[in-house]
Amino acid sequence: MPYRIVVALVTDWTLRGFYPQPKQDAPLPDELDTAAPDAYADWEEGHDLGALFADLPDRQREVLELRYLRGLSPEQIASELGIKRNAVDQALHNGHRKLEEKLGA
C-alpha cells in the first residue's frame, strides 16, 4: 500500500473521531489534469509497504502486514497466527530492524 494512502487513511480515521458527521463529497476542479505525471510516484515506489515487506522472512513479513496493512494489535496477530504474543513482538522487532537497514535509517 503506498505511503500516501496510509497517511490519508490514518488522517481520515483521526478526523472521523473529531468530526463524526458524514463527509460531503466535493467535485474536482475542471482544470485538474489527471494525466499529468505524479510528482510523488518515484518516492512512493521506494516507500511502498508491500514492496518493503517482500524481502523479509515469511514470519516477519506476515506479522508486519497484519500489523500495518490490516491494523491488527499484537494480541490479535498472535491469535490469528496461533503463536505466542512474545513471538509476535520478536517478529515485529526484527522486522523493524531489517526495514531500518533497508531504508538506511
pTM: 0.57
Residue found by looking up cell 531504508 in the block = 103
Could you count the other beta carbons within 10 Å of the beta carbon of residue 90? 15
Choose among 90, 103, 105: nearest CA to 43.
103
Spell out the domains of the chain, with CATH numbers in brackets.
53-105 (1.10.10.10)
- The span from the CA of 56 to the CA of 66, in Å, is 14
Q: Considering only residues 90 and 4, tell me which one the structure prediction assigns the higher pLDDT.
A: 90
User: pLDDT tens for residues 27-73?
Assistant: 877 887 777 777 777 777 667 777 788 889 999 999 999 998 889 99
For residue 48, give Cα distances in angstroms to 16, 18, 63.
25, 28, 17
Grid coordinates of 91: 517478529
